[in-house]
A and B are shown apart, each in its own frame.
Chain A
Amino acid sequence: MMRINLLPKEERPLKQSAVRWEFMALLFGLVLLIVINVYGFLLSVTNQTLEQEYLQVISMKTRLSGQQQEISRLQNQIKESSEQAGYYAHLLDRCAAAFQPKWLASVIALAPDEVWLESVAYSGKQILISGYTVDSQLITGYLQKLQQSGYETQLNAMDQHTLGARLFSFNISAVRSD
């Protein structure tokens, strides 16, 4: 027996195997909504973790900043100490370059026997030597010894005196060549 559906096509019930598109759209929409919210929830959990990590990094940075400030303070102390040490070294060099008493001693010690010194004075980078001797040749010898020891010399005056014996007084200026 044959059954004929007399309803218009659009009013006929769907076949059992057919799926309404409205259902699919609604299902997709719901799945999308759920996915978005689940993903959002996971993201918020991740963000909380990140915030904790951020706080840890900040805490570490604060700790390291404190240490870095301490190192900066140490570096400033090094700079200060370095300036002080530099100043002291320069001061010692300056004083070492000034006149040294040993130069005076060498000038005195170079005087030959029978040359008697009256005064030896250092002032204004030159040494003035005055004295007398019985032999004028000894003055020449003294000048040569001074020159050999690194002095530029000049005989400023030489006078002869007769005091029982002949005496030659002299006045020499000596400047270190170096």
Chain B
Amino acid sequence: MIDRGLLKRTSMSLTYGVIVLVYLLAVISLLGFLRPLWLQQSALEDRIARERSQVEFLDQLVQQRPSVEAALKEQTNTVLMYERLIPASTELPEVLLVVKDLASALQAELIRLDYVPLRTQGSDAWYSMSIELRGSVGSVYGVVEALAGTFPTLYLHNITLATNESESVNLQANFDLYVTPPEWETSVSWEKRVWQELTLNLGDRFGVPLQSLQGFLARNLKVIGIVRVQGGENRALIGYNGTQEWKRIGDKVGPATIVEIGDTSIVFDVHGVKLNISFGGI
């Protein structure tokens, strides 16, 4: 005979076991299945939020691209403008040619044009150059002025304009010509600037050297006689450099020109300088 109590206790235990098993499965699902998913979701949301924030930041930066490109274009144009003004170190032959052309165009005689090899210090790169010209004041000065206009990076150290005996002026100048630094690549070539011919009149400001005047007078210059011609030109017998000759107004005596024959004196013009020589000598 089946013990009813035992059967009931067994049935109850089984029921309790199933209940415990169901709750155990619920806890295992909660901890082993749901919790990792929660954590994963939380981590994903964090990562997405972080990445979104970076994307927003990057997006703002990328939005600036048109203005950055515009700024680059402006800067590039500025640099190009300078590169058109300043010759590159490799363009020295063209530079020398321009100097010669300028001297030729302005009718100045180019006596010397020297340069030393490229020198550098920091970003600076330059050729030290020296030039010697001969010609009228306007010509030689015009060459230097045109050079300064053609090469805005020309740094003049010294310049000397000195008169000589042949009615011309010698010009000597030492200068540095700065060029674009060799380590910077240039995308355009230097463009020779168009210079305007000068209208500055410096014509007769320079006279003959004082030593030349002294030399002229030291060659035994004498007014030996003056003949007054009624209704005609006066003439003068001039002794110069061991010879005697009759001279009229406009005649040359050495480097001088007779501009006036008076009663007792003669006025010579030595390249603009008026010398009054009296009868009998100086």
Could you tell me which A residues sit within 8 Å of B by CB distance?
A: 11, 22, 25-26, 29-30, 32-33, 36-37, 39-40, 43-44, 46-47, 50-51, 53-54, 57-58, 60-61, 64-65, 67-68, 70-71, 74-75, 77-78, 81-82, 84-85, 87-89, 91-92, 94-96, 98-102, 104-105, 108-109, 111, 115-124, 131-132, 134, 161, 163-165, 167, 169
Contacts and interface: CB of A to CB of B under 8 A. Distances in A.
A11 B11 CA distance: 14
Contact of A74 (B59, B69, B209): B69
B282 A164 contact: yes
A155 B143 CA distance: 30
B195 interface: no
Interface stretch (B19-27, B93-101, B226-234, B241-249): B19-27
Given A26-B15, A122-B156, 20 more contacts: A26-B18, A37-B29, A54-B44, A71-B65, A78-B72, A81-B72, A84-B82, A88-B86, A88-B180, A95-B155, A99-B157, A102-B145, A105-B200, A108-B161, A109-B201, A116-B206, A119-B163, A121-B161, A131-B207, A163-B213
The 10 residue pairs across chains A and B that have the minimum distance between CB atoms = A116-B207, A29-B22, A88-B82, A64-B58, A81-B75, A119-B162, A123-B158, A121-B160, A50-B44, A43-B37
A43 B18 CA distance: 27
B112 interface: no
A46 B225 CA distance: 131
Nearest to B202: A108
Q: Quick one: which of B34, B83, B86 has the most chain A CB within 10 A?
A: B34
A43 B52 contact: no
A60 B159 CA distance: 66
Contacts of A96: 152
29 contacts: A32-B23, A33-B29, A36-B26, A44-B37, A47-B40, A50-B41, A51-B44, A54-B47, A61-B54, A64-B62, A67-B58, A68-B58, A74-B65, A74-B72, A81-B78, A81-B79, A84-B184, A85-B78, A92-B152, A95-B152, A95-B155, A95-B178, A99-B156, A105-B145, A117-B205, A118-B206, A121-B160, A122-B158, A132-B210
Interface stretch (B103-111, B128-136, B273-281): B273-281
A48 to B, nearest CB: 10
Nearest to A57: B51
Contacts of B205: 108-109, 111, 115-117
A67 B144 CA distance: 52
B188 interface: no
Contact of B76 (A39, A53, A81, A104): A81
B19 A26 contact: yes
Nearest to B200: A105
B55 A119 contact: no
A33 B277 CA distance: 139
Contacts of B159: 99, 101, 104, 121-123
A168 to B, nearest CB: 10
Nearest to A116: B207
Nearest to B181: A87
B37 A40 contact: yes
B79 A78 contact: no
B141 A71 contact: no
B148 A82 contact: no
B97 to A, nearest CB: 21
Given A78-B72, A123-B158, A40 B62 contact: no
B217 interface: yes
Given A47-B37, A92-B153, A109-B200, A11 B79 contact: no
A40 B86 CA distance: 74
Contacts of A132: 207, 210, 273
A29 B15 CA distance: 12
Contact of A85 (B79, B207, B272): B79
